[in-house]
Structures are given as C-alpha cells and as structure tokens.
Structure 1
Amino acid sequence: MADIIVYIPDIPVDVDGVELEEQIKTRLKTGHRLDVQSVQCYPTLGVAVINMLNEDDKHHLISEVETTVLSKNSGTNITFVEELELDSYIVIGSELKKALSADEVAQRYANAYKTSKTRRCEIVSDQFPNVFRIYYKKLAELIQAATTPDFKIEAAFATVYPRADCCFFEDLPTNTNNDKPMSAIAVQLGE
C-alpha cells in the first residue's frame, strides 16, 4: 500500500519540530476528528508531511478543511495541500571567474550531492548569471540539500536556498545593476 500523504507548506520555523508535530496531531484530532499515522516536520524547509490513515481523510483534509488555526494562542494558520513546491535556488559566489551554464551547474550539483539524475536547472536572469533555479522531484533530495546547503564549484562556493522565493530576480529591466536588488532586498528584510 502506498503512502497516503498530505503536505503542510507553511509551518512556523521558530517552533521545535517535535513540539510542532504534536501540536499538528492534537489539532487534527481535537479540531477535525482525524487520526493520522504520523507527522514529520522539517522546520528548516518550513514544511510538514502528514501520513494519513486513508484516502477519504486525505481528501477531506485537502478539499474540505484546506486550512486551520494551529493554536489559538499563536494564531498561526496552516494549510493542507496534495503537492509541495520543491523548487529552490542556487547562488554561486563571486569568486568564480567565468559564468557557468545551467547544465554545468546541474551537473556540479548532481556530483556534489551524488544524485542519480541531473536535475533541471535554469538561470534566473541574465543580469545575475550566478543565480539558478533548480527543480526537485523528491522531498528527500531537498532535505539533503537543506542539511548541507553549501557545495564547491571550482574555487567558488555555491549555496542552495531550499524553497526560497527569488521570483523578484525574474524579468528585471536590463538596466538593473547589483545595487538596486540588494537595496530592495535589504528594505524587505528591514535592514
């Protein structure tokens, strides 16, 4: 029998994983009368995986419940989905003297993480040839990358940013330089 899985793509990252797993189980049991086989939280990724006992409960959680308040005290909402967005970004340090193609980055990634297949990879913007989007197929591979996000490409370090949202790099005007995005990011981060 295949695993019956529901994902939570938006868990709080400032709560201990084991504590959060218990909170989710308790909330599903008391608030929605749902028993689950297990809950596994990955705070570094901001996601949780729920192993359901049956397809009907999975369908109910995804289609009917959709979202719930995790705890009344925190006011934190969590969402239930059938699929998880696993795409991430790789940023290569400025030490690298030549620009790499997306295929070269994908190959270096595959070698560093010893994956059986090369992942689809693409450059995000011509203005930032050191930022790449990489597409994952399995959560286990993303967990591995999140555990050890740095790898080396020649003399430069590359860092994987799991499930990061770097869409602001896409479709930038051609006259954009490094200063504009850096200052915009700093403003967004409140620095």
Structure 2
Amino acid sequence: MPSMPESRQSTHPSPDLAARARGIRVLLFDVDGVLTDGGVYVHGDGSESKRFDIKDGAGIVIARRAGLVVGLISARQSASTAHRARQLGLDLVQQGVTDKAAALADLMATHGWPAESIAYMGDDVVDLPVMRRVGLAACPADAVPEVRASAHLVSSCPGGRGAARALIEDILRAQGRWDALIDADRRP
C-alpha cells in the first residue's frame, strides 16, 4: 500500500486539518470496516456477531462527555450494531441506509447542523457521497484507495482497531479539550 503524506495521517495533522477539527460538533461513523474490522461472523443458527474495539468505544464515551454528538450510519441492519450503540448510549443510529447522502441531508435539516460542523469516518465507496459533503472526512488506514484519496485524514489505525478513537483524540486535541477530559478522569 502506498504511504500517505504525513499531513493526512492522524499522528501529524496539518494546519488545515486542525482548523477543520476545531469546528467539529458532530461525529458520524460507518460501522462495518470502521468500528469493526469489517468481518461478520455468521453462526450456524443464522445469527451474526461482530468485533468492536474497546478503545474506540471509550473514545466515543469521551466524545459524548465532551458534548459532541456521536452517531452511526450503516448500510447493513445488525442486532450487534444496535446492541453496541445502546451500550455506548448512542441515540443517533441509522441502519439499513441505502442512500447515506440522503440520510446525512435529513440529519442536517432536522438538527440544523452545518456541513462544516460534521466529521464522518467511512471505509468504502458507499461512504464517498457523505465524505464529500462534511467538514472533516476521515477513514481507517485500510479503507479502499478511492476513500483514502478523498479523505482529509487517513488514520494510521485500521478499521476496528482504534481508527475511531484516533479521530476523536485528534478532534478533541485540536479543540484544546483532550487533556482536560483525561485529567478529569484522574481526579479522586
């Protein structure tokens, strides 16, 4: 895989990326390939399961504590996704979405969110219409080439292995809020 310019990796954000991150108030994530490694385990009884990363989940909890809106937009319908969203306290969960751009437009209209206040992390071509409309488009390291080429930020982490957490940290650090959030957890 060709390496990405340093300014596109989450470990070395560019000034443009930091400026974009400072304006983010809403974080939206695809699920399969972003919050999971993209694998779906199909059991003999027809049920499915997925692997979610605990650090990604902890990052989502921190983002919510910071006052950011966090939501999921997934093309697949999955009981595992619904269960994980409940565990994380997410109310904004859209599954079975065939047109992610239309879903984004509906959310923006309903909540009055300007595009530049939204960050979205996706990994495959179905995510491109959303990524092209938001203020900060991000993807995991193992996203498909077209998505990596369209992203403002390519994480150094693969999907389901900390990519969402890295994005959250980058945004909160750019906003000057990360250290205070972490220090609050250390107080007795």
Shared fold per TM-score greater than 0.5: no
Q: Which has the larger radius of gyration?
A: 1
More strand by proportion, 1 or 2?
Answer: 1
Greater RCO between the two (CA within 8 Å, min separation 6)?
2
